[in-house]
Structure 1
Amino acid sequence: MRWGLRPRGPGAAALAAAWNLWVPPRLPCRPLWRGTTGSLLVRSVTGASNQPQNSSNGSYRDTVLLPQTSFPMKLLGRQQPDTELEIQQKCGFSELYSWQRERKVKAEFCLHDGPPYANGDPHVGHALNKILKDIANRYHMMRGSKIHFVPGWDCHGLPIEIKVLSELGGKAQNLSAMEIREKARSFAKAAIEKQKLSFIRWGIMADWNNCYYTFDGRYEAKQLRIFYQMYDKGLIYRSYKPVFWSPSSRTALAEAELEYNPEHISRSVYVKFPLLKPSPKLASLLDGSSPVSFLVWTTQPWTIPANQAVCYMPESKYAVVKCSSSGDLYILGADKVTSVASTLGTTFEVISTFSGVDLENGSCAHPLISERESPLLPANHVTMTKGTGLVHTAPAHGMEDYSVAAQHNLSTDCLVNEDGVFTDAAGPELQNKAVLKEGTDAVIMMLQAAKNLLKEEKLVHSYPYDWRTKKPVVIRASKQWFVNITDIKTTAKELLKKVKFIPGSALNAMVEMMDRRPYWCISRQRVWGVPIPVFHHKTKDDVLINSQTIEHIIQLVEEHGSDIWWTLPPEQLLPKEVLSQVGGPDALEYVPGQDILDIWFDSGTSWSNVLPGTDQRADLYLEGKDQLGGWFQSSLLTSVAARNKSPFKTVVVHGFTLGEKGEKMSKSLGNIIDPDVVINGGQDHSKEPPYGADVLRWWVAESNVFTEVTISPSLLNAARDDISKLRNTLRFLLGNVAGFNPETDSIPVNSMYVIDQYMLHLLQDLANKINDSYKQYDFGKVVRLLQAFYTRELSNFYFSIIKDRLYCENADDPKRRSCQTALAEILDVMVRSFAPILPHLAEEVFQHIPYIKEPKSVFRTGWIKTSSIWKKPGLEEAIESACAMRDSFLGSIPGKNAAEYEVIIVIEPGLLFEIMEMLQAEETSSTSQLNELMMASQTTLLSQEPRGISEDVTELKGTFLINLEGGDIREESSYKVIVMTTTKEKCPRCWKYTAESSDTLCPRCAEVVKGK
């Protein structure tokens, strides 16, 4: 019984409503199709023989509408990079940034570029970072925002200075400060030019003639203004404190300039501190006849000459023990008795135990200078996790030790100079010895001679190294400039709660790093940087800095750059009114200070130079995870200190680039991948082919950048293969919209073939998900969504179904135009979807779209456009149910051509039958929408089993659950698919088995050809 000739089922009206009024349930991008047993089947065309594109025969060849496009399937060898360069030129890549700035749009999107360091060639870490930023910028620009993105470079600092000096070798000793600065500036400029050319080649959108550089006079002047704002608020001060000190660089370092070597070997020692004056409680526990010593463990024996105290934990238990091998009495933590005895190769007998607080007012003798007293002091930093539960305290060589000294007025004298060598004050046995080498040897020998060394052993542990020289640092007290971050941290942490972090865990990591930081040392003892703008009194410990001196210096720096600190005489660095107050030009009492600012302070003040408007807050900061303790933090701290606000609204944090096996990249391992070689190929193209920039960009986008990011030849090959599959899809789309003009040939959505409408429904869902993924900076998800769509929905499913309709119908047949309408929309959505990631490919495709008369840049024509009328979730039931039956059919003829079979579908009367009738109105058809989906010779739709079927047929049974209106309409129907070999012959034009004989056309083709 046909549609309209029999009573309607109760769901028919609701079904029609569902197809036109759409109340959408959410549809997954990769639909899974319900199979005959209720299990989930991935929709595929297994068993279907796709009609060949050259499906023409002899005289009918010219009547078949094969795809027509000049878009190449592959770009081989140098073609890829060469085509990209042509596209950059032709499509105005270099003008795109200024074009979008000139648009009259209200929305702004500001991504503040964290400055890469100007000390070397571009590397894959740069590529990862800059490409991620460019994808974000291009997306927001296409969405209609005006992008504010000023590329910048970090140009000062120790690494550049060290490279310059190492290249000069012995000659470096005789260079003046200005000679070093000039050579460092030239070196930085050369590195900037190299990096800039690479960034442009990668397709990074920016105004490359207007970048920011931390060595620019205007930049330095603003930085000095922020320095003084913070100084004026009491947030910057000068003090004598222990800091991380690099003997190899002869300068103080901040925590962010350290890297920890887990394989460092220290010579740890167990040392006796003889009891000198027992506390009352301790005296009552000892008989006074035997000598007693406190047991102390340290991994830095060279600090023992500077010992000022021994610290204990007041709440912990301590024990007096007797050594079984020597008979000596020792005091140590009660919890450490067994483990320490074992380490010393002996056993301890516990004589008595007492609480740590009972040690108050006691003291012991210094282990090297017996007449010097070391008091026993309580301290919170003492733990029982390592050592003996008693801590040797040298205030000049430890942050916690320094705190104890401040509380108890202990000496903080430092016995180690800038080169990491003992000074004369350390005594004749130690003077001029390097503390980490022969100085340690000498201290251990002195402990042996004093009979206070119990054991020495090598300890492999994590130890801080200078991040540039790769040599160990020491902690040493010196006069430095500090930022008092204690007062800033509370506000900073409150403000961070309003900042969005991607991934979310990065917020906690940043807060933990700030909490661990007791203060920020911002002075460096070098010359390549911005001077700390203070004057030191020649004889007194006094500094000169005020609003008058700062304004004068800022004006000079703004005009001439910070070189003036070294080139102008001191009297010209001071304003006249101040000069007269401090001795005049002839008897000047002050000299310019010799310290420069930490480069984290340099780059951390970039917000004041770069961010637009009065609010000066960026929508996005996007950098590697090392910046949680670096640029993110210095930017936040300076911004909070100067103006009580965060400089960023969102922070995206990516991982580091690693080799294929997760190892760091290094020249010694030979696993460095040069982005230039990736793009242009190496010397041997068979081993290092030229991939072009888009492969590099695809690798970045598809990586899970929120963890460590691996790169290797195999991953780059895979990226190239992915883009090749995408090109094939695009070529099919371009070839099949030839001769189609969307303005005149489009079919209204509701008049399109159901399968075409269904593809638009999927397309809108894809567009929404892609948009959401870009918003979340999850570019890997964008890639996965696209891959799933062009592989499954298009290549494996839709394209295989529609080829007959595209190639063999009349050019302007509504059925064909319906398909082309869908293809044109799919092409447009896809190109815009991947354009931020693959700008070169997107522009190349745009040049080949046949109905665009004068191709504009895809980036100048906006974001994805979809229509709400595409959303038709009711169609899912129609296509899913037909696909369930199709899966049964194709699964029964694996590897065979579906067009050689006829299919009979038997469905009990009800909603499912009514849905199938919408796809095939007549009982048997070789041209219906249902038959197109089945890809069979012909399809017959029945509500009851036919009689007289031969025995050599295949019968397949299944059920399908229809679920409409959010569950209001539910009906499970049974169906049977009967498969039999067709009795028809192969049509010589369309190759479908629908002709009466092999030398005559099928009815459809005969009708089409008749007019030709």
Structure 2
Amino acid sequence: QQTGAMANSPSAAALLPRSPRAPLHPGGPRSPSLSNSQQPAAESRQDSQYRDTVLLPRSNFPAQLPGRLQPETEVETQQKCGFSELYSWQRQRKAKQEFCLHDGPPYANGDPHVGHALNKILKDITNRFYVMRGCKVHYVPGWDCHGLPIELKALSEVKGAENLSPMEIRQRAREFAERAIEKQKSAFIRWGVMADWANCYRTFDPKYEANQLRVFYKMYDKGYIYQDYKPVFWSPSSKTALAEAELEYNEQHVSRSVYMKFPVLKSPPKLTSVIDGSAPASVLVWTTQPWTVPSNQAVCYMPDSEYAIVKCTTTGEHFILAADRVESTAAVLDTQFEVMSTCKGVDLADGSCAHPTIPGRISPLLPANHVTMTKGTGLVHTAPAHGMEDYSVASHHQLPTDCLVDEGGFFTEAAGPELKNKNVLEEGNEAVIQMLQAAGSLLKEEKFVHSYPYDWRTKKPMIIRASKQWFVNTASVKATAQEVLKKVKVIPTSAANRMLEMLDRRTFWCISRQRCWGVPIPVFYQKNTGECLINSETVTDVIKIVEQQGTDAWWTLPIEQLLSKEAVAKAGGHDVLDYVKGQDVLDIWFDSGTSWACVLEGAEQKADTYLEGKDQLGGWFQSSLLTSVAARKKAPYKTLVVHGFTLGEKGEKMSKSIGNVVDPDVVINGGEDHTKDPPYGADVLRWWVAESNVFTEVLIGPVVLNAARDDINKLRNTLRFMLGNMAGFNPETDAIPPSEMYIVDQYMLHLLQDYGSKVTEAYKEYDYSKVVRLLQAFCSRNLSNFYFSIIKDRLYCEEEKDPKRRSCQTVLAEALDVVVRSFAPILPHLAEEVFQHLPYKKGKGVFRTGWINVSSAWKKPGIEEAIEGACAMRDSFLGSISGKNALEYEVIIVIEPGLLFELMEALQAEETSSVSQLNEIMMASQTTLLSELPKETPADAIIKGTFLINLEGGYIREDSSYKVIALPVTKAKCPRCRRYTSDSSSTLCPRCLKVMAGKGST
């Protein structure tokens, strides 16, 4: 008798309720992996007489692609499956929803590296998911093309670069950037990144530059951009101002710190009785930058802190310093201080000192809140031209803020003949120390190791230097920016706080640079007064020209063509020739930060997602937010996704000296020596990105890449099994409806439905490593270890068109479709390759035919009890015959009458069967289901177990016990199906006889 579909069991509907519940074992039933000796119908030992009657898997799909075949197959797949046309195809289709991922422009100054791979592949996985979901995806790749790093690299290739004109520099920088863009673009295409590569954006495109200037003027007009003379971070090696985001800190920088004395000229009134003039008195000051001493204008104290007047036991001099710093300072100076008196900082008011090196200059004692007590003397040397806090003290007290240092970091003539033309960080520093010594003001010089800002491009020390610059007043935008940012979804959430903190610390943003490779700040200056001219007329005229000719026009056209007489007259000027063009260009963070205005479409000009590395929390994410909020009071993005950096396999930074740099091109195509650097193909690179926890640092190296290749090969094996067993099957004509399937097949559809919804949610949350974990668990646990191992007999030995065989082929077709679609955004080459090998037609490839399609009707939680109950008994049985062939046994299952017995009866209606659904799960040659233990059963042959039935969301809970008895088979092995169900070893079992009769053979 054939036991077929669940529908054939009269009590099935009652026994298998459809109420929702969580699976007992995550990911399905527990099942050991089976060795070949345990597999039914093992191909390797088929009797030759019946070999051709067994339906073994047939597919040309390779289990793995060794050597060069992997990259070659991928390139072939890209061409065959229209990778290059996919973006424009999806833009042209009708779609209810648009998804916009705005590409943060990589810098066009070098070869593609693994950091690019991490970022671009993450974006592509996201975009492909949304394309498959039916959205119209908007993704325009771009490049950041201006700035000093490109200029420096372009000029490093030229002899006599210092003699080039601005236009020659711009031309060479542009050519360099164009070459870098082409290199990077071809790599991105090879990685399978979907985009319209003929229409990218570049920050040196005239239309882009014109839009950027529109945003600049809008911000200027609203009062957010202003010009001012104040201290900024200055790079002497680059001769330009830099923003804070362009600094990197050297923790091992060594400064020549000095302790010096400023003789008291006018005693603070409250201290006159203590400092009586009988012994010389001085304030004690410490600095790590002696070169700034010639610019000193004051000494600052903390009003609320405690100060001491001490007597030096060595010299008898009196010194003033913070009470908390007396002992440590005396130890450094190798002397002892006797405390004569103490006072509050406010008591130092109205005192003044003599400048330590400049006769006749007075340095007043002034209160300030930036004074620290953690190091130094608690009294701070104040040079307004060389410190942000120093400058604000000077502004408050109307002190001079003159800068004695030029753009190259050399003392100017105003610093005096002893210092003129000396480099402040080198011989100029030494000269100032010598001057302190000669004046008797130097008490001690020592090396001081501390964190110090360096120019991130030249890797040389910065200085702080006052100069006339253009600024964005971030203080006035900050509150709105923070409010707006709180409404943005940030993944991971911890990154939101980091960005809010960074915004909080930012008071102004210096946006002018003293270079020529960039977008000019469209300002004219009156030759005599230096007064700047900028208004809507002047800017509109410049923008028109830039839109047609690009910003080269600023350098090539005479001023009469850039500035109209009308604009000059309106501003109250007389002659255009009274003005000169400004020489500053905009900071490249302003360039890229205005990309929303140039790339995003529609009135909203808002992207669904910005996805970049964590360095952009202080970079592009922030400059985009600040420009957008200043110009239109809203964020340019709805979601921020922030990933970590790439590191070597052991968590170390990549460097050529260590030899751990991973080149994406070598990963894909292999190195010179394929035994050392084998060709992995792009999908291995993509798998590495997806499986990594990208929200922390991402490690890469040979071990990681080999593991990724092995994972993909395991996946290929699973796919090959499904493809091979669908030869001759067409879902449109041969599929079996779920209601007529075996219960275990329905159970697999139930698991598929669950898998599909979990994978979809993980993609929506950008959690691609979860997608990979779900995929691997489903393929190895549910498919390979469980389902494939039990259906092999049905697939190989039943008649080709038997509904029982078609039932599991229907499940395999659905499983293959769901699994391939679930990993398609991650492994597009493999997904399309699988679709090429389908034995039936499947439309126009994976990406043009939509996302995972699972039916809610597949969700049948009650089925879990039947299948998982049977699996629990199967585990008991297999555990008792450890390592032996399950087919050499028949199983007796004893369950007392009740719910569990009824569930098992739904899987096997008759008492004993070798073809029932229950026997298929047990994997034995025969299964007997009883409600009582047979008499004379040896006690040591009984395996006892329990199974918890949990139905109706816990409303029905029943702990049922069962007994399993494994007995050696009594029948002979069937020469066709290898199961022990024949009367003799020379005759077929009843099932195989029936199949053969149907084939018209004996």
TM-score, normalized by length of structure 2? Answer: 0.96
Distance between the aligned counterparts of 1:297 and 1:902, measured in 2? 91
Q: Is the 8 A contact 2:15 2:902 kept in 1?
A: no
Cα distance in 1 for residues equivalent to 2:239 and 2:277:
49
Matches within 5 A, 1:287-298: 287-298=276-287
Q: Displacement of 1:510 after TM fit?
A: 1.1
The equivalent of 1:329 in structure 2 is 318
Kindly provide the CA deviation profile for residues 135-177 of structure 1, in whole angstroms up to 9, marking residues without a partner as x.
10010111011011111111111111111111113x2122111
Q: Which position in structure 2 is the counterpart of 1:884?
A: 872
Structure 1 residues 347 and 964: alpha-carbon distance in aligned structure 2, compared to 1, 3 A threshold: farther
1:306 Cα deviation after fit: 1.2
Q: Secondary structure at the match of 1:588?
A: helix
Shift of 1:447: 2.1
Letter in 1 for 2:874: R
Q: Aligned pair 1:910/2:909, yes or no?
A: no
Distance 1:232 1:582 in 2: 15
**Deviation (angstroms), 1:25:** 3.6
Once residues 580 and 203 of structure 1 are traced to their aligned partners in structure 2, the CA distance between those partners, rounded to angstroms, is: 57
Distance 1:18 1:1001, change over 3 A: closer
Q: 3-state DSSP class of the match of 1:337?
A: helix
What are the superposed Cα offsets for residues 828-869 of structure 1, whole Å, 9 maximum, x if unpaired? Answer: 1001100001111101111111121x6412100000111111
Is 2:16–2:866's contact at 8 Å kept on the other side of the alignment? no
Matches within 5 A, 1:508-907: 508-578=497-567, 588-852=577-841, 855-907=843-895
Compute the displacement of 1:95 (Å).
Answer: 0.7
Structure 2 distance, partners of 1:214, 1:621, is 18
Q: Which moved more, 1:616-625 or 1:316-325?
A: 316-325
Query: How far is 1:895 from its partner?
Result: 2.0
Given that 1:29 and 1:765 are in contact with CA atoms closer than 8 Å, whether structure 2 keeps it comes out as: no
1:498-526 Cα distance to aligned partner (Å, 9 max, x none): 10001111111111112222211111111
| SS, match of residue 858 in structure 1 | coil
**Counterparts of 1:270 and 1:894, CA distance in 2:** 81
SS at match of 1:76: coil
CA distance in structure 1 between the partners assigned to 2:541 and 2:576 by the alignment: 20
Q: Encode CA deviations 1:63-110: one digit per residue, 9 max, x unaligned.
A: 101111111111111111111111111111111111101111120001
Unaligned runs of 5+ in 2: 4-9
How far is the alpha carbon of 1:554 from its aligned partner?
0.7
- 1:302 corresponds in structure 2 to 291
Determine which of 82, 85, 90 is the counterpart of 2:72: 82
- Matched residue of 1:99: which SS? helix
Q: Aligned partner of 1:984: which letter?
A: K
2:145 corresponding residue in structure 1: 155
Deviation digits for residues 321-366 of structure 1 (CA, Å, limit 9, x no counterpart): 3344444433222223333333334443333322222222222222
Instruction: Return closer, same or farther for 1:885/1:525 CA change in 2, 3 Å cut-off.
Output: same
Amino acid at match of 1:87: T
For 2:641 and 2:169, how far apart are their aligned partners in 1? 37
Q: Secondary structure at the match of 1:478?
A: strand
Change beyond 3 A, Cα 1:65–1:389:
same
User: Cα 1:902–1:274, aligned 2, differ >3 Å: closer, same or farther?
Assistant: farther
Unaligned runs of 5+ in 1: 4-11, 34-41
Correspondence for 1:986 among 969, 973, 984? 973
Report the RMSD for the aligned CA atoms in angstroms.
2.0
Corresponding residue number in structure 2 for 1:940: 928
Q: Find out whether 1:448 has 2:445 as its counterpart.
A: no
The answer on whether the counterparts of 1:55 and 1:990 sit within 8 Å (CA) in structure 2 is no
TM-score by length of 1: 0.95
1:56 positional shift: 2.3
Q: Is the 8 A contact 1:527 1:595 kept in 2?
A: yes
Matched residue of 2:612: which SS?
strand
Counterpart-to-counterpart distance in 2, 1:886 and 1:277: 98
Q: Is the 8 A contact 2:109 2:177 kept in 1?
A: yes
Output the CA distance in 2 between the equivalents of 1:906 and 1:722.
41
C-alpha contact 1:583 1:589 (8 A) present in aligned 2: no
Letter in 2 for 1:623: E
Distance in 1 between residues matched to 2:981 and 2:328, nearest whole Å = 89
Q: Is the 8 A contact 2:226 2:472 kept in 1?
A: yes
3-state SS of paired residue (2:504): helix
Deviation larger for 342-351 or 687-696: 342-351
1:893 and 1:658 map into 2 onto residues whose CA distance is: 48
SS in 2 for 1:993: coil
Q: Deviations over 1:342-397 (max 9, x none)?
A: 33344433333222222222222222225322122221222222322222211111
What residue in structure 2 maps to residue 924 of structure 1? 912
Give the Cα separation in 2 of the matches to 1:546 and 1:974. Answer: 88
Residue of structure 1 in register with 2:130 after alignment: 140
**Structure-to-structure mapping, 1:197-216, within 5 angstroms:** 197-216=186-205
Match runs of 1:379-528 below 5 Å: 379-528=368-517
- Give a deviation string over 1:966-1007, Cα, whole Å, max 9, x none: 111111122222223222332221122222332222222222
Which of 220, 227, 231 in structure 1 is aligned with 2:209?
A: 220
Matched, 1:72 2:62: yes
Partners of 1:18 and 1:964 within 8 A in 2: no
Question: Could you say what secondary structure the match of 1:321 adopts?
Answer: strand
Q: Percent identity?
A: 72
Deviation at 1:437, TM superposition (A): 1.3
Give the letter for the 2:857 counterpart: I
Q: Counterparts of 1:209 and 1:577 in 2: how far apart (Å)?
A: 41
Deviations 1:181-203 (A, max 9, x none): 11111111111111111111111
In structure 2, the CA distance between the partners of 1:350 and 1:990, relative to structure 1 (3 Å rule), is farther
In structure 2, how many angstroms separate the alpha carbons of the residues matched to 1:347 and 1:885? Answer: 86
Structure 2 CA distance for partners of 1:930 and 1:376, relative to 1, 3 Å: same
In structure 2, the residue corresponding to 1:957 is in which secondary structure? strand
Structure 1 CA distance, aligned partners of 2:687 and 2:443? 61
Q: Which SS does the other structure have where 2:847 is aligned?
A: helix
Distance in 2 (CA, whole Å) between partners of 1:463 and 1:880 is 64
Distance verdict in 2 for CA 1:93–1:376, change over 3 Å = same
Q: Which residue of 1 aligns with 2:6?
A: none
What is the match of residue 37 of structure 1?
A: none
Aligned to 2:942: 955
CA, structure 1 residues 751+564, in 2 after alignment: closer, same or farther (shift >3 Å)? same
Match of 2:27 among 26, 30, 36: 30
d(CA) in 1 for partners of 2:823 and 2:905? Answer: 38
1:19 maps to 2:16:
yes
What are the Cα deviations for residues 514-548 of structure 1, in whole angstroms up to 9, with x where unaligned?
22222111111111111111111111120111111
Kindly tell me: are residues 897 and 339 of structure 1, through their superposed partners in 2, closer, same or farther at Cα, counting changes over 3 Å?
Answer: farther
Structure 2 Cα separation of the partners of residues 706 and 673 of structure 1: 20
The Cα shift of 1:459 comes to 2.2
Q: Deviations over 1:283-325 (max 9, x none)?
A: 2444442323322222222112211112222222222233444
582-591 or 619-628: which moved more? 582-591
Q: Name the amino acid aligned to 1:100.
A: Q
After TM superposition, give the deviation of residue 458 of structure 1 in Å.
1.9
| Counterpart Cα distance in 2 of 1:308 and 1:18 | 92
Match of 2:964 in 1: 977
Distance 1:737 1:344 in 2: 88
- 1:860 match: secondary structure: coil
When residues 233 and 584 of structure 1 are mapped into structure 2, their CA distance, relative to the original with a 3 A threshold, is closer
Alpha carbons 1:22, 1:871 under 8 Å: kept: no
Deviation (angstroms), 1:496: 0.5
* Match for residue 95 of structure 1 among 85, 97, 112: 85
Residue 38 of structure 1 corresponds to none
Q: Which moved more, 1:799-808 or 1:898-907?
A: 898-907
Aligned-pair CA distance for 1:32: 6.8
Q: SS of the counterpart of 1:261?
A: strand
The Cα offsets for residues 776-819 of structure 1, whole Å up to 9 and x where unpaired, read as: 11111111110111111111111111111111111111211111
How far 1:1008 sits from its partner (Å)?
Answer: 1.3
Per-residue CA deviation, residues 652-707 of structure 1 (Å, 9 max, x unaligned), is 01111111122222223322211111111111111111111111111111111111
Q: Is the 8 A contact 2:565 2:576 kept in 1?
A: no
